[in-house]
Amino acid sequence: MSFSFFKPSRPKTPPEVAKAIKDSLNALDTKTVAEVKALEKAMEEVEKNFVTMRCMLSGDGEVEPNVEQVSQLALEISKEDVISLVVHKLPILGWEARKDLVLCWSILLKQQVDSKYCCVEYIEKNLELLDFLVVCYDNKEIALNCGNMLRECIKFPSLAQYILNSASFVLFFKFVELPNFDVASDAFSTFKDILTKHASLVAEYLTGHYDEFFDLYEKLLTSSNYVTRRQSLKLLSDFLLEAPNVQIMKRYILEVRYLKIMMTLLRVHSNFSFSMIWLVFIDLNHPSAVLMLLELDSVGYGC
């Protein structure tokens, strides 16, 4: 006769998972973080709960996720303020926990409950979370995690619009030139998404912040870093050639100040942005267009 002394534990429900995550994150208070053993124990609990969340959202490799449970967990995480907690606790989380969080973040943002993106709506009501994620580029330990999370947010127009118009947006002009190559590259990827994912929003922003934006962008185009100059020139072409930005493009390319920069860059990077230059020839009677022709001729791009 066999006896079973231990019953298999019952799988947690979505509300229980959300509450467990919230409680374990709240346990990472100032006192706990200051004590090594207490911190290790608390971190183990967080990591265990994150694994549970990951398995519920994406499956465990053998069992596919339950669609209803995924939606319910997204709703519960929004209701329990877990989104705010995971963002603010990100700097003290371990590597495994951060990796699981990035995966879960992507899935959670895409979940619709009653035709609404509940996690996105939560962030819309707590927009300071986006500022926090942007500023985290200054912390190289978590910069790449925050970058992934930001790019998921940028897929949604309302969140992209906030970042674009926030005070923290200008920080990207610094982050893309950070000495750490991996962090700078990731920051540039996020910067690129902000300027290319939603062309109409970008056109509206550039119309209202033309001088401020292009003054800062000029520093990237004239950077001492070759990679920065090359990437910035390519990105400039990418977003200015979008249909909603046509008036911005014409204004930009007809300014002698920027024209001179473009001519200098095209000597080295002639394969980029050349099509943008030719669009100005639509109006050859424009004084700046004539000047451009002369400049092109002087550097060997004569037509």
Domain residue ranges in the chain? 11-116
Tens digit of each residue's pLDDT (9 = 90 or more) over 83-123: 999 999 999 999 999 999 999 999 999 999 999 999 999 99
Reply yes or no on whether the pLDDT at 273 is more than 70. no
In this prediction, residues 11-20 reach a mean pLDDT of: 94
Cα distance between residue 232 and residue 223, in whole Å: 10
Owner of token pair 């995924």: 70
Single pTM value for the model: 0.87
pLDDT of amino acid 40: 86
Owner of token pair 């973080």: 33
What angle is formed at CA 89 by the lines to CA 87 and CA 92, rounded to 5 degrees? 130
pLDDT of amino acid 248: 93
Running DSSP on this structure, what letter comes out for residue 283? Answer: G
Running DSSP on this structure, what letter comes out for residue 3? Answer: -
Tens digit of each residue's pLDDT (9 = 90 or more) over 159-169: 999 999 999 99
